Amino acid sequence: MTRQVQEAYIVAAARTAVGKAPRGMYRRTRPDDLLAHVLRQAAARVPALDLAAVDDVIVGCAIPEAEQGMNVARIALLLAGYPQSVAGVTVNRFCASGLQAVAMAADRIRLGEAEVMVAAGAETMSLIPMGGHHIAFNEAVFARGEHVGIAYGMGTTAETVAQRWRVSREAQDGFALESHRKALAAIAAGEFRDEIAPYAIEERRPDLASQSVAVRARLADTDEGPRADASAEGLAKLKPVFAAQGSVTAGNSSQTSDGAGAVILASEAALARFGLTPLARFVSFAVAGVAPEIMGIGPLQAVPKALRQAGWSLADLDWIELNEAFAAQSLAVMRDLDMDASKVNPLGGAIALGHPLGATGAIRTATLVHGLRRRGLRRGMVTMCVGTGMGAAGLFEAV
Partner 1 sequence: MTSPAHEALTSSFAMTVPQPMFIRRAAVLGAGVMGAQIAAHLVNAGVEAVLFDLPASGADANATARKGVETLRRLEPSPLGAASVADRIGLANYNHDLEALAGCELVIEAIAERLDWKHALYGRIAPHLAPQAVLASNTSGLSLGALAQGLPDALGRRFCGVHFFNPPRYMHLVELIAAPATDAAVLDALESFLVTTLGKGVIRARNTPNFIANRIGAFSLLAAFHHARELGLGFDEVDAVTGTLLGRPKSATFRTMDLVGLDTLGHVFDTQRTQLAADPWHGHFQAPGWFEALLRAGALGHKTGRGVYRKQGREIQVLDPATGEYRLADRSAHPEVVEILKGRAPAERLAALRQSTQPQARFLWRVTRDTLHYAAFHLEHMADNARDVDLAMRWGFGWREGPFESWQAAGWQTVAGWIAAEVAAGEALAPVPLPRWAADPSRTGVHDTQGSFSPSRGTQAQRPALLVYRRQAMPDRVLGEAPGPRRSVFETDAVHLWSAGDDIAVIGFRSKMHAIGEDVLDGLMQAIDEAERNFRGLVIWQDEPPFSVGANLSGPRAPRSDRPKPSAVGTMMKRLRREAESALLKAAHRLNVADALMAGRLEKVEGLVRQFQATTLALRQARVPVVAAVDGMALGGGCEFVMHCARTVAAFESYIGLVEVGVGLLPGGGGLKELTRRAAAEARGGDLFAPLRRAFEAVATAQVARSALQAREMGFLTEGDVIVMNRHELLHVARAQVVALTESGWRPPGPPAPIAVGGRTAIATFKAHMTNLLVGGFISEHDFLVGSKVAEVLCGGDVDAGSLVDEQWLLALARRGFMELLATEKTQARIEHMLRTGKPLRN
Q: Catalytic residues, which ones?
A: 95, 355, 385
Q: Find the shortest distance in angstroms from Cβ 293 to partner 1.
A: 8
Query: Residue 163: CB partners within 8 Å, gap ≥ 6?
Result: none
Task: Check the CA dihedral 142-146-152-154 and report its sign.
Answer: negative
Residues in a beta bridge with 294: none
DSSP 302-362: HHHHHHHHHT--GGG-SEEEE--SBHHHHHHHHHHHT--GGGB-TT--HHHH-B-GGGHHH
The least distance separating partner 1 from the CB of residue 360, rounded to whole angstroms, comes to: 23
Give the contacts of 134 (CB within 8 A, at least 6 positions apart). Answer: none
Burial 364-392 (b: 16+ CB within 10 A, else e): bbbbbbbbbbeeebbbbbbbbbbbbbbbb
Smallest gap from Cβ 152 to partner 1, in A, equals: 7
Smallest gap from Cβ 209 to partner 1, in A, equals: 14
HSE of 127, CA atoms in CB hemisphere, 13 A: 22
DSSP string, 212-276: EEEEEEEEE-S-S---TT--HHHHHHSPPSS-TT----STTBPPBEEEEEEEEEEEHHHHHHHT-
**H or E element in which residue 78 lies:** helix 72-79
CA–CA gap between residue 144 and residue 327 (Å, rounded): 32
* Cβ count within 10 A of residue 157: 30
**At closest approach, how far in Å is the CB of 132 from partner 1?**
11
Shortest distance, CB of residue 298 to partner 1, whole angstroms? 19
What SS3 class is residue 281?
strand
Asked whether 259 and 359 are in contact (CB, 8 A), the reply is yes
> Which burial class, exposed, middle or buried, applies to 313 when counting CB atoms under 10 A from its CB (0-12, 13-18, 19+)?
exposed
- The residue among 140 and 217 lying less far from partner 1, judged by its C-beta, is 140
Task: Give the number of other CB atoms < 10 A from CB of residue 70.
Answer: 13
Footprint on this chain of partner 1 (rule: CB under 8 A): 133-142, 148, 150-153, 155-156, 159-160, 242-246, 293
Q: Is 208 helix (H, G, I), strand (E, B) or coil?
A: coil
Q: Which is nearer to partner 1, 83 or 153 (CB)?
A: 153
| Nearest residue (CB) to partner 1, 126 versus 160 | 160
C-beta of 140 vs 209, nearer to partner 1: 140
Instruction: Determine the 3-state secondary structure of 117 from DSSP.
Output: strand
